[in-house]
Amino acid sequence: MKEFSFEKLEVWQDTKTFTVFLYRLMKAFPEDEKFGLVQQIKRALISVSSNLAEGSGRTSKKDQAHFYQIAYSSLMEVLSQVLISIELGYITPENELEIRHQIVKISNKINSLRKKILSTI
């Protein structure tokens, strides 16, 4: 089966794993958050992986870097929403540590990828 360029990106693979982790975690959120915070987090999470994929498909280095920047911004959205979820008691301190670890790892990889692309312009 053909593997597309974004599927080979380690950062996209990490993001996919992180997305699945958070989706499973959000199943335990209160029912009244299913159309509020949960949907916002899901949209932002999907935006991270989608923009990584779209950026990898662009032929212009400037466009690639732009989509990687959007992916980073969406990841920061996820962090903001997670912090609110923690304050509300929906996410445990143990899960907070894992989430922060993953966000740091993914954000570093996105920034490295973007810098690498920009250095070739």
Radius of gyration from C-alpha coordinates of the chain: 15
**CATH code: domain of residue 28:** 1.20.1440.60
- In 3-state terms, what secondary structure has residue 28? coil
Count how many domains the chain has.
Answer: 1
Distance from C-alpha of 73 to C-alpha of 79, rounded to nearest angstrom: 10
Domain range for 106: 5-118
User: Tell me, what's the pLDDT at 66?
Assistant: 98
Which pair of tokens denotes residue 8? 């080979």
Distance from C-alpha of 104 to C-alpha of 31, rounded to nearest angstrom: 29
Model pLDDT for residues 11-43, shown as the tens digit of each residue: 999 999 999 999 999 999 999 999 999 999 999
Q: In whole angstroms, how far apart are CA 3 and each of 47, 71, 114, 120?
A: 21, 21, 22, 25
User: Tell me, what's the pLDDT at 104?
Assistant: 98
Phi, psi of 38 (to 5 degrees): -60, -45
Which ranges of the chain have pLDDT less than 70? none
Q: How many CB atoms lie within 10 A of CB 117?
A: 21
Q: pTM score, two decimals?
A: 0.96
The region, left, alpha or beta by phi > 0 then psi within -120 to 50, assigned to residue 89 is left
Element (H, E) at 14: helix 10-26
